[in-house]
Structure 1
Amino acid sequence: MVFHILGVVIILLVSASPSGRADPAPVQYSAINCRKHTAVLTDFGAVGDGKTLNTKAFETAVANLSQFAADGGAQLIVPAGKWLTGSFNLTSHFTLFLHKDAVILGSQVNMEDWPLVAPLPSFGTAADGSTGARHASLLFGANLTDVVITGNNGTIDGQGAKWWDDFKNKKLKDARPFLVEIQSTDQLQISNVTFTNSPMWNVHPVYCSNVVIQGVTILAPVEVPNTDGINPDSCTNIRIEDCYIASGDDCIAVKSGIDQYGIKVGKPTKQLAIRRVTCVSPDSAVVALGSEMSGGIQDVRIEDVTAINCQSGIRIKTAVGRGGYVKDIFARRMTMSGMEKVFWMSGAYKSHADGGFDPNALPVVHNINYRDVVAQNVTVSAILDGLEKAHFTGICISNVTLNLGPAARELQWNCTNVSGTTSRVTPKPCDELPEKAGDCPFPEDKLPIDDVVLKSCSTA
């Protein structure tokens, strides 16, 4: 095969791994777009021994492959090996493909390998609330089109232990990095890759449209805070499917900016489908809506979810000062085991970006629908806590069986400043949600992202 690199024609018959083995045979994979041009990371001097820093090799590879954006795009193959690197940027019409025995390792050489970047406009501070800058994610991109991060289950390992220790011991001046952050990009795919040991959030698409995340495995120690799995943030038209997430925070956290900053930017997250996700998160939610929701969250469809030993199922988090809205939320066919709280809505979430929020900016929470839920070993069925001046309305819960565990509390439903209905729910719900015959709705129309059909591509 002929590869066009730096204007030179290179005939690549075989690429040797660091152990001397030949790279695997060409791999077929699915992607939003296939690429005309191909290169291997080792073409740019990378060494996969787990010790050599390859940031320059990644940067050079992406820079040279970017010249093919208008000529069918390019793919960079990461072969078997352990490829140590600092942060690097992706480009448009580009695929990063990790072979099954490839591991991209986040550098621990020095802090400069994770350069500082400004806080997001819709956050006003770093995502962990620190007022300083934040370290760039390991894989980063902004203002791009048609980006694919995929593989046959290769691994991206953030080697986050030092970051976790420094955060715990308050040694960090600036916020921890994520593993992947892609900003302001149309057509983004992240699939068939394992993410592990992220310093903070794992996968963060922000201000993006037409996003496909599927077949992803995310592994974080469940005792480490803020290691969220997938955080779609001010994005439109997204599907998250067939993922396994074990996390020290929310498995999926849907966001759209915080307080006055999120209100000003005004970019909602909407048209989001979450399907066939398995979550383990003893200290957080399977799916969280907020707490950063000031740009709005609307039309979220969650179905066929498995939760194991989680703090909560679907949690809505907001507060006075957030403004924005969470509305038109639909969930069905959820199976849970070992649940501390099944349904949880919080109107008094305490964190704020800073003291400049508007105390008159009240969030709207409306048209929240849960149906066809079974849970075992439940401690509390529901805590639904709206705001005195902004009740949570239009709550519907139907066909739900919650089997209590040995630590079950006497008060199973704690409802304040909420209204809605229930149907065929056990244990008996609170008086604020009276019985009404019929099932809660779930939209049967397709979202636009469901019209995106992945193509069959090859690493050859």
Structure 2
Amino acid sequence: MVFTQQSAVSINLVASLLLLGLVNFSIVECRRLASTGSDVTYSAINCRKHTAFLTDFGGKGDGKTSNTLVFRSAIQNLSQFANDGGAQLVLPPGKWLTGSFNLTSHFTLYLQLGAVILASQDEGDYPLIEPLPSYGTGRDGPGGRHNSNPKNYSVYCCFDDFDVVRVICGTEFVICANGTIDGQGSLWWEKFHKKKLKNTRPYLIELMYSKKIQISNLTLIDSPSWFVHPDLTITAPVDSPNTDGIDPDSCKNVKIQDVFIVSGDDCVAVKSGWDEYGIKFNMPTEQIIIRRLTCISPDSAVIALGSEMSGGIKNLRAEDIRAINSESAVRIKTAPGRGAYVKNIFVDGMNLKTMKYVFWATGAYGQHPDPGYDPKALPRVDRINYRNVVAEDVEMAGNMGGIEGDPFTGFCLSNVTIGLAEKHKKLQWNCTDISGVSSGVTPPPCEVLKDKGKMECEYPSEKIPIDMVELKTCSFTSSSQML
């Protein structure tokens, strides 16, 4: 999956997303290149032989008329071309109100500049589905999850109140755009705050058991819950509950690049299942690159690893990360009962301003799906490298705590300069049940992060597979045409 940035409320994303991914997600970048006269040109995994516009099927972009049946009819019609060069459905400028609809493989959904998908405000448009097998229960309540998947479809995509896009068992699926998906999530946030939720809120984009997915040049706003469970601009009020920006969950080969996120929760939350359910599902998140991410999240992390990490998280790289007014930079969250591991994490280049913590790790992050977890299932945290970090206006440099009898090991910090806020904590480093090394860190870290003199923490030089994907140049004429 690849994510790319444009501006505060625009997503320029190229991604083969993941989210809630569960099996082998590949992420690719989709970037609009040019618009010359009536021709629109963009980069994508593959180009499509057939093109249609939503207006060809009777769609109305007035922001009031429901287009749910129009979307379903259009996609059903276009699905016949899956094995004949694929098809793309273009949304012209306008506000396209809709409930859920299903997408198919070898398919592109393209939102032109000025096109907005508006999620329906009718909760009945989002039937309940079973909880994720790697979670065992809903995140907002013990019941299922709101979604909108007609059971006769194995591959579907739905946009609901919170703009839920969902694809299951999909192959080569693209969302490319210069448009917006508006989840209109305030209705759901209000229910969350009033504790009226018995089931989990929908996510904005969710891809499962899929591969070769690309999302780019989108602006996603006001998701009911997690935005992408995939270059994007993602915004939500900073007090909106659980509005994680991007959640690669049990995914492999994911690129999140050039993304701007304003969130009420973690900007990027890397996960792999919850306690005994994630251990049983046993699908790690691995081979992830997060590059040129900009985050604003006053109450949460720029990048969170966990807390649901029971399938394991490994081989993650993050580079050129920027944060403003966020609670922490990279935060490791786990607890007894999670099992698995967080290992081989490499961070190179963070520029941070106005932070509560720079380095934060905890082995006491509670929250369990049910009492059936095994408290003896201890996670292993090892080989966590940070280098070239500059931060200013920071309350506390590091708050790092492992688990008694199960310490977090292999931390490496090099070339780190942290400027303190006027009202900073007297104790700048708290290190419990951790070990590692350091070099050139200001203010000086705990003794357990042993000063090794002049050295540099490792950052891998070889490319990961997702960075070697080559895109094609695609185009269409921006005028309606019937197939």
TM-score normalised per structure 2: 0.87
Tell me how far apart the structure 1 counterparts of residues 78 and 361 of structure 2 sit (CA, whole Å).
47
Q: Deviations over 1:147-179 (max 9, x none)?
A: 111112x00000111111111111222111111
Give the alignment of 1:442-457 within 5 angstroms: 442-457=459-474
Deviation at 1:25, TM superposition (A): 2.2
- 5 Å-filtered alignment, 1:294-313, equals 294-313=310-329
> 1:231 and 2:243 equivalent?
no
Aligned pair partner of 1:147 in 173, 184, 195: 173
Deviations 1:394-413 (A, max 9, x none): 00000000000112100000
Corresponding residue for 1:131?
Answer: 142
Partner of 1:5: none
Q: Deviations over 1:30-76 (max 9, x none)?
A: 11111111110111221111111111111111121111111111111
Amino acid of the residue matched to residue 112 of structure 1? G
What amino acid does structure 2 have at the position aligned with 1:166? Answer: K
Contact 1:87 1:115 in 2 (8 A): no
Q: Does 2:303 match 1:287?
A: yes
2: CA distance, partners of 1:364 / 1:198: 33
Counterparts of 2:400 and 2:287 in 1: how far apart (Å)? 25
- 8 A contact 1:78–1:97 mirrored in 2: yes
Using the alignment, how far apart are the partners of 1:351 and 1:458 within structure 2? 48
Q: CA deviation at 1:141?
A: 1.1
Say whether 1:184 aligns with 2:209.
Answer: yes
- Is residue 252 from structure 1 mapped to residue 244 from structure 2 by the alignment? no
Q: CA deviation at 1:100?
A: 1.2
Residue 77 of structure 1 and its aligned partner are, at CA, apart by 0.3
Contact map agreement 1:77 1:459 (CA 8 A) in 2: no
Write the letter of the residue equivalent to 1:147. Answer: F
Q: 1:112: how far off?
A: 1.5
CA contact (8 A) 2:86 2:106 kept: yes
Contact kept? 2:192, 2:241, Cα under 8 Å: no
Query: In structure 2, what is the Cα distance between the partners aligned to 1:444 and 1:306?
Result: 21
Instruction: Report deviation, 1:115.
Output: 1.9
Q: Counterpart of 2:132 in structure 1: which amino acid?
A: L
Aligned mates of 1:363, 1:318 — CA distance in 2: 7
Distance 1:131 1:278 in 2: 34
Task: Say yes or no: does 1:164 pair with 2:177.
Answer: no
The runs of 5 or more residues in structure 1 that have no matched partner are 1-23, 205-212
Q: How many residues align?
A: 425
Out of 318-327 and 135-144, give the one that drifted further. 135-144
CA displacement, residues 435-455 of structure 1 (integer Å, 9 cap, x when unaligned) = 013110000011011111121
- Using CA pairs below 8 Å that are at least 6 residues apart, which structure has the higher relative contact order? 2
Partner of 1:17: none
One-letter amino acid of the structure 2 residue matched with residue 133 of structure 1: G
Q: Distance in 2 between matches of 1:454 and 1:198?
A: 29
Deviation at 1:262? 0.3
Other-structure match for 1:384: 400
d(CA) in 2 for partners of 1:279, 1:25:
35
Alpha-carbon distance in 1 for matches of 2:279, 2:68: 37
Secondary structure of residue in 2 paired with 1:224: coil
Q: Aligned AA for 2:363? A: G
Structure 2 residue corresponding to 1:101, chosen from 98, 111, 114: 114
2:436 matched to 1:420? yes
Aligned CA RMSD, in angstroms, stands at 1.0
Q: Which stretch shifts more, 324-333 or 84-93? A: 84-93
Partner of 1:197: 222
Local SS of the residue matching 2:450 = coil
Q: CA deviation at 1:261?
A: 0.3
Provide the secondary structure at the position in 2 that maps to 1:368.
strand
Return the offset for 1:259: 0.2
The alpha-carbon deviation at position 365 of structure 1 amounts to 0.3
Give the CA deviation at 1:127: 3.0
* Aligned amino acid, residue 457 of structure 2: C
Matches of 1:367 and 1:292, distance apart in 2: 19
Give 3-state SS (helix, strand or coil) of 1:88's partner. Answer: coil
2:476 aligns to what?
Answer: 459
User: Aligned equivalents of 1:90 and 1:320: distance in 2?
Assistant: 40
Alpha-carbon distance between aligned partners in 1 of 2:175 and 2:469, rounded to the nearest angstrom? 17
Q: Which residue of 2 is the match for residue 331 of structure 1?
A: 347
- 1:114 matches 2:126: yes
Q: Which runs of 4+ in 1 moved over 3 A?
A: none
The 1:423–1:456 alpha-carbon spacing in structure 2 relative to 1, beyond 3 Å, is same
**1:14 maps to which residue?**
none
**How much does 1:274 deviate?**
0.3
